[in-house]
Structure 1
Amino acid sequence: MTAGEDHYAEHEPPASLRPFVRTIWTYGSPNPSGAVQRIAPDGCPELILDIGSPYEEAGEDGVFRLQPQALFAGQMTRPLALRPVGPVELVAVRFEPDGARDWLGHSAHLAVDRRLDMTGRLAGVTAPPRDPQGQVAVMVAVLEAHRREHGWTIDPLVRAEVNAALAEAAIPARSPAEQRGLQRRFRDRVGISPRELRSILRFRRVFDHAADPSADPMPWLEAGLEAGYFDQPQMARDFRRYLGCTATDWARDQVELARSLASQSYKPSPHSPL
């Protein structure tokens, strides 16, 4: 990690956490621009510990307020706008779409489009600055202790549906009763409906198919068609829905954390058989 430069890195979780955690990522920006950054939904909740200055988040009233030093970010279904107020350094756990239910301790639906204060839960937890490996080790220790104490589990029916969505597999035929049962379990474990998750994953794939999502001009239509959109208007509606702007505006304006996240792949990591 070079002093004075931005960095973003993803770290493999240990085998015991892989059914629940997709990756642990670290990010640092010693001299952020202060620009507003739009973060796209990716279908995964996250646990974030700020080591530097926390971001400010725009509320529904348009007012920017400081985020807590430690937070749980639930599933996102609408735009999120952040801006840095000082040097940024953080470590974050990106859970699988259905992997955070037991860490959260209640229905994942209650965290949708919310950033929950975790400073109480992580009281006394500190991560070493400018040491990504040390920061990852701290988060792994926190998660492992909680997993062992609370016996984290995966709902096999929900996981199968999540995997089908990730693989872009066809939706299987179900009876109305089976569909209602899946909806209830999915709402509890993932927070959103299977259909909403598929929509978010399709939108996320636009960035996976873009060679450089921050480039301007960028062949967004080509990336959208490869991601599964029928045409440009359909993709444009999701840009408005999930980012609150056009693709061109996003490519022109995004820097730092937003650009780093968009340029990384969100493809699933292997699960342990459950």
Structure 2
Amino acid sequence: MIYQTYQPRLARSATPKEPPLSQFIEFLWMREGDNLPQSQSRLLPIGSMELVVNLHEDKIPLFDCHSRALIGSTNGSMLCGAHSQGFIINNERKISVMGVHFKPGGSASFFALPAGELHNQRVSLDELWQGRATELRDRLLEESTWEARFLVLERFLLMVMQPLARYSAVDFALREFDRSPASTVSAVTDKVGFSARHFNKIFRDQVGLTPKLFCRIRRLQQVLDLISSKNQVDWTDIAITCGYFDQAHFIHDFRMFTNCTPTEYLVQRGFHPCHVVLLD
């Protein structure tokens, strides 16, 4: 299986008023493989949105997160809203998929509706772009190399990007949370000068999650990054390093977002820290 990422490099123009794509997007990615083990995986919350294009077939199946049964599908292009719970995907024997990993709050320049309306949702991209998603998928399929496909995707995103209003208070909060994961929501709210209720609303409109939920998910991501190359882990040390009150608090949060214990996660994690391979 091949997995590659690509850093956006282009801007719509050279003027300071036109921000580069990299201001809103962390990276583009691709996954491709043949004769892979067929299974299901749980994708863990990441705190931001993800755009996915299935180039193998023009649909993406959806599964119930508890029973793991098939409950429907989207078209071959899908937008995953910011999630606070994991969701199930199928790992087929043959895959050919591309995607866009938005920065937290970065999707606001590409989709008109508030990000909070897509919380824990996965929707066909055509519902949001009114046919443009089919155009994008067709143009990607016309190219035979991943390098060319990355360029097509990058240019397409520049074309649909809109200079929508962003909240400077939210951008400030995201920088604070990234700079110091231990920052409390109340401390950051005090700095921006808004009431907690108003700040929660504008943060959720841009990011898709409330500030408190966002920070809990990002702290989980910090845990997964710290243990990504380890098979033996001192969980007490991890809990302290990542700012949990105690090990019980850590285990509670971990199980809430991953649906497994820390020990089970080490056994079942997949090719990416946010993929947990589900056992039959």
Segments of structure 2 that go 5 or more residues without pairing to the other structure are 12-19, 276-280
Structure 1 residues 155-188: Cα deviation after superposition (integer angstroms, max 9, x where no partner): 2111111111112245236299532222221121
Q: 1:103 aligns with which of 110, 124, 146?
A: 110
Q: 2:255 aligns with which of 240, 247, 256?
A: 240
Q: Is the 8 A contact 1:11 1:24 kept in 2?
A: yes
Equivalent residue, structure 2, for 1:184: 201
TM-score by length of 1: 0.82
Equivalent residue, structure 2, for 1:137: 151
Q: Is the 8 A contact 2:189 2:199 kept in 1?
A: no
Q: Is the 8 A contact 2:65 2:86 kept in 1?
A: no
> What pairs up with 1:163-202 in 2 under 5 angstroms?
163-167=175-179, 168=181, 169-170=183-184, 171-172=187-188, 174=190, 178-202=195-219
Shift of residue 221, structure 1, vs aligned partner: 3.8
TM-score by length of 2: 0.80
User: Whole-Å Cα distance in 1 between the matches of residues 241 and 39 of structure 2?
Assistant: 31
1:189 is matched by which residue type in structure 2? Q
Shift of residue 50, structure 1, vs aligned partner: 1.2
Q: Is the 8 A contact 2:78 2:122 kept in 1?
A: yes
Q: Is the 8 A contact 2:65 2:87 kept in 1?
A: no
Structure 1 residues 101-120: Cα deviation after superposition (integer angstroms, max 9, x where no partner): 23121010111101110143
User: Whole-Å Cα distance in 1 between the matches of residues 117 and 84 of structure 2?
Assistant: 13
Instruction: Note if 1:33 corresponds to 2:37.
Output: yes
Equivalent residue, structure 1, for 2:17: none
Q: Is the 8 A contact 1:80 1:243 kept in 2?
A: no
Deviation >6 Å, runs of 4+? none
User: Whole-Å Cα distance in 2 between the matches of residues 177 and 254 of structure 1?
Assistant: 40
Q: Secondary structure at 1:123's aligned position in 2?
A: helix
Structure 1 residues 181-222: Cα deviation after superposition (integer angstroms, max 9, x where no partner): 222211211111111111110011001111426x3x444443
Task: Mark the structure with the bigger radius of gyration.
Answer: 2
User: Whole-Å Cα distance in 2 between the matches of residues 87 and 44 of structure 1?
Assistant: 27
Q: Is the 8 A contact 1:41 1:200 kept in 2?
A: yes
Q: Secondary structure at 1:27's aligned position in 2?
A: strand
Equivalent residue, structure 2, for 1:59: 64
User: Whole-Å Cα distance in 2 between the matches of residues 20 and 141 of structure 1?
Assistant: 14
Q: Give me the identity figure in percent.
A: 19
